[in-house]
Amino acid sequence: MPSPVSLLTRLRFPLDVRRCGARLDDLRLLVLDVDGVLTDGGLYYGSEGEPLKRFDVRDGLGIRLLQSVGIVVAVLSGGRGGAIHLRARHLGIDEVLVGVKDKAAAIDDLCQRLAVPACQAAYVGDDINDLVVRPHVGLLIAPADAAAPLRRRAHLLLPWRGGRGAIRGLAELILQRRGRLAALSTDGWKDTNA
């Protein structure tokens, strides 16, 4: 798999970045949907009928890198499940909102509680139920395989698929814009395993 940074040369993506660059530079809060963003959107079932989710370890490291530059990462999902809490705990994500029926209100409450203006918040979603947050964040971001209506309305369309490096690629883009990626690419990064 090519490095996410090498994929920045895709046709549409650089246009989106130029248009949204200042908002990426000022980003303080990144809210992530789970299914279709942190996972590939598939549902797997264990022998006892429990739903299982697949998370990408590179996305996990991307989250840790964003946290290391002061960006608060939150998880927001309409679904429920222990896997979300376990993954969030493993990544040091304190803001875990599950079973959410009104995503827009949840984001408004989160921004208010964290004292982050909406213009400095971004949301990554993958389907039409995520469109409602667009007026409540500075950036609505979609992975490459998001539903067509969301891809059309997103401020930024990523060239990577959900659960397959989209968040890692976004993290590298943000770090690159903040002048932090080159040193990480040369010297590496030391922290707990993501």
pLDDT, averaged per 10 consecutive residues of the chain (194 residues), comes to 45 60 93 96 86 91 95 92 89 95 97 98 97 96 96 93 95 90 80 56
pLDDT recorded at residue 5? 46
pLDDT recorded at residue 22? 86
pLDDT recorded at residue 135? 96
Please provide the size of the chain in residues.
Answer: 194
Instruction: Quickly count: other Cβ atoms within 10 Å of residue 131's Cβ.
Output: 19
Q: How far is CA 137 from CA 12, 29, 118, 155, 163, in A?
A: 22, 10, 5, 10, 22
| CA pair distance 42, 116, nearest whole angstrom | 32
Provide the residue ranges of all domains of the chain, joining segments of one domain with +. Answer: 5-184
Q: Which H helix or E strand runs over 44?
A: strand 44-45
Q: What are phi and psi of 56, to 5 degrees?
A: -90, 125
pLDDT recorded at residue 183? 82
pLDDT recorded at residue 1? 47
**pTM surpassing 0.75?**
yes
* CATH code, residues 5-184: 3.40.50.1000
pLDDT recorded at residue 74? 98
pLDDT recorded at residue 16? 65
Q: Do the Cβ atoms of 129 and 147 come closer than 8 Å?
A: no
